[in-house]
Amino acid sequence: MSRYYTEDHEWVEVDGDTGTVGISDYAQSQLGDIVFVEVPDEGKQIAKGDDVAVVESVKAASDVYSPVSGTVIEGNAALADAPETVNEDAEGEGWFFKLTLSDPSEVESLMNEAAYAEFASKL
């Protein structure tokens, strides 16, 4: 399994042709208290770069872009009642959705964990 990141602070954890997507710990720390998350429904077809989810903090609303293309298998239903999970565990329990990747080679254009850590440290 490998984890990849975008410059817009999404992550995708890839296991075979299945991916799990969320926002980075850096992103949640910048957003502050998260009060609402909207995730895509099962079966939704998405292309890399689509705005597929919404995350709102006390301060602001943000769109979340999909780091890869594919078909949504599951949205994280637990976030509807407990959006603060994203603050507590952004890169674990606070995942947004899982999908079947239509083109696993897309991850090659993303950053690995070390490259993202370097990227975020300069922001």
Partner 1 sequence: MSQDQTAETAGDSDVEEIALEQLPLDQWHRDHGGRMVPFAGYEMPVQYEGIMAEHLWTREHAGLFDVSHMGQLIFSGPGIDAALEALMPADLAAAKPGHPVYSLLMAENGGILDDLMLTKRDGGSVYMVVNGACKWDDIAHFREHMPDEIDINYMGDQALLALQGPEAVTALDRLIPGVAALVFMQGGRFQWQGHDLWISRSGYTGEDGFEISVPGEAVEALADAITVQPEVKPIGLGARDSLRLEADLPLYGHDLDTETTPVAAALGFALKKRRREEGGFPGHERIMLERENGPILKRVGLIVEGRQPVREGAMVVDGEGSEVGRVTSGGFAPTVQKPIAMAYVPTALATPGTRVTLAQRGKIHTGEVVAMPFVPHRYVRKGA
Residues that bind partner 1 in the complex, under the rule CB under 8 A: 8-10, 23, 27, 32-33, 35-36, 38, 54-65, 80, 83
Lookup result for tokens 């009642």: 81
Indicate the residue among 7 and 17 with the shorter CB distance to partner 1.
7
Indicate the residue among 57 and 69 with the shorter CB distance to partner 1.
57
Indicate the residue among 17 and 33 with the shorter CB distance to partner 1.
33
Q: Tell the smallest beta-carbon distance from residue 16 to partner 1 (Å).
A: 26
Q: How far, in Å, CA of 123 to CA of 55, rounded?
A: 20
Q: Tell the smallest beta-carbon distance from residue 44 to partner 1 (Å).
A: 16
Indicate the residue among 105 and 122 with the shorter CB distance to partner 1.
122
Q: Which residues pair with 43 in a beta bridge?
A: none
Q: Tell the smallest beta-carbon distance from residue 94 to partner 1 (Å).
A: 13
Q: CB of 111 within 8 A of CB of 119?
A: yes
**Can you tell me whether residue 117 is helix, strand or coil?**
helix
The two tokens of residue 54 are 């919404």
Q: Which residues pair with 91 in a beta bridge?
A: none
Using DSSP bridges, classify how beta strands 34-38 and 45-46 pair: parallel, antiparallel or unpaired: unpaired
Q: Tell the smallest beta-carbon distance from residue 51 to partner 1 (Å).
A: 8
